[in-house]
């Protein structure tokens, strides 16, 4: 049965964890979907992973639409989430227009990076039938404001603010929250504070779902390997088995383990 936003809500209500992965093409999306991964993200990480840029900023709407349509063709029942690329939601009008393009290409939900300034945009999108995931914590489109890729929410003031933003964005209509690179205790507090499913990457074991970049979990990352990554292909020579092992480990909450987690 196809995964929907209701499926993710049910996971949260039952206290069960769901698995998400990035994917950018039809073949991988079919394999990922058939392995039981619940959510496929066409992340703007494709700017780094596929295109070789040093950030996600150069990714365009046309490129996102192309990759979403490739993934939609291969998908076998996973929920398809598409990133809105840098500056494609700078105004409410541009957000509506660009989200509509991603939905027409086959997305079931869009993901936006930012904080409380996105409230009006999220309300406008969700009122017009576009489900939204709000990405908080380390939001890579803000790399030049952050001065690097750094763990966010480490001090209590920043932690309180992130909790407040998550609650405000949920109240504005966000259907899901994604937390990237935040201390595990903060991610646990946010997951409890909101009813919406919370997906974590580098956010510890207590979020409602986990996500990784596909190339990272297959051990083919070039350059520095982030702390929160585990290579699931290290213990098998089958991509399919590696993907199934990831889904199982997330479901059992054996991944992420302590060595993949940031402390307060």
Interface residue list for ligand KIV (CB under 6 A):
22, 41, 43-45, 83, 178, 180, 201, 211, 213
Residue 156 C-beta: closest distance to ligand KIV, Å? 25
Nearer to ligand KIV, 139 or 244 (CB): 139
Annotated ligand binding at 111? The verdict is yes
Q: For 169-183, give one letter per residue: b (16+ CB within 10 A) or e.
A: bbebbbbbbbbbbbb
Helix intervals (H) in the chain? 5-14, 26-34, 46-49, 61-74, 92-105, 119-127, 143-146, 156-172, 184-193, 214-217, 239-252
Residue whose entry in the numeric block shows the structure tokens 């205790």: 185
Cα 262 versus chain centre, distance: 18
Tell me if residue 110 falls in helix, strand or coil: strand
CB of 237 to ligand KIV, least distance (A): 26
Residue 45, marked binder: yes
- Is 195 in a helix, a strand, or coil? coil
Task: State phi, psi for 164 to the nearest 5 degrees.
Answer: -60, -45
Contact present, 85 and 107 (Cβ < 8 Å): no
Nearest distance from C-beta of residue 255 to ligand KIV, angstroms: 15
- Residue 56 or 244: which CB sits closer to ligand KIV? 56
Distance CA 195, CA 175 (A): 9
Distance in Å, CB of 198 to ligand KIV, minimum: 12
Q: Give the number of C-alpha atoms closer than 13 A to the C-alpha of residue 192, restricted to the C-beta side.
A: 6
43 is written with which tokens?
């992340």
* Nearest CB to ligand KIV, comparing residues 14 and 145: 145
| Residue 170 or 180 with smaller CB distance to ligand KIV | 180
Residue 44 vs 170, nearer CB to ligand KIV: 44
Is 94 marked as a binding-site residue? no
Residue closest to ligand KIV (Cβ): 43
Please give the positions annotated as active site: 180
Minimal distance in Å, beta carbon 253 to ligand KIV? 19
Known binding-site positions for 3-methyl-2-oxobutanoate: 44-45, 83, 111
Known binding-site positions for Mg(2+): 44, 83, 113
Known binding-site positions: 44-45, 83, 111, 113
């Amino acid at each position: 049965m196809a995964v929907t936003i209701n499926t993710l809500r049910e996971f949260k209500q039952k206290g069960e964890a769901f698995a998400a992965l990035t994917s950018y093409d039809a073949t991988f999306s079919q394999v990922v979907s058939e392995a039981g991964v619940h959510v496929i993200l066409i992340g703007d990480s494709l700017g780094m992973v596929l295109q070789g840029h040093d950030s996600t900023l150069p990714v365009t709407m046309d490129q996102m639409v192309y990759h979403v349509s490739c993934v939609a063709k291969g998908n076998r029942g996973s929920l398809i989430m598409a990133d809105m690329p840098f500056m494609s939601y700078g105004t409410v009008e541009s957000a509506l227009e660009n989200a509509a393009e991603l939905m027409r290409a086959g997305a079931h939900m869009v993901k936006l990076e930012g904080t409380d300034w996105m409230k009006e945009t999220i309300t406008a999108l969700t009122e017009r039938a576009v489900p939204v995931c709000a990405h908080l914590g380390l939001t890579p489109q803000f790399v030049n404001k952050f001065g690097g890729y750094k763990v966010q929410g480490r001090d209590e003031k920043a932690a309180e603010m992130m909790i407040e933003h998550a609650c405000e964005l949920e109240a504005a209509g966000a259907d899901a929250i994604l937390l990237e690179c935040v201390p595990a205790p903060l991610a646990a507090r946010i997951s409890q504070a909101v009813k919406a499913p919370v997906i974590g990457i580098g956010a510890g074991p207590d979020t409602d779902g986990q996500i990784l970049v596909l190339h990272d979990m297959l051990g083919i990352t070039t350059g520095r390997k982030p702390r929160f990554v585990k290579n699931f292909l290290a213990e098998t020579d089958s991509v399919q088995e590696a993907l199934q092992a990831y889904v199982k480990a997330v479901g059992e909450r054996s991944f992420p383990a302590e060595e993949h987690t940031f402390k307060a």
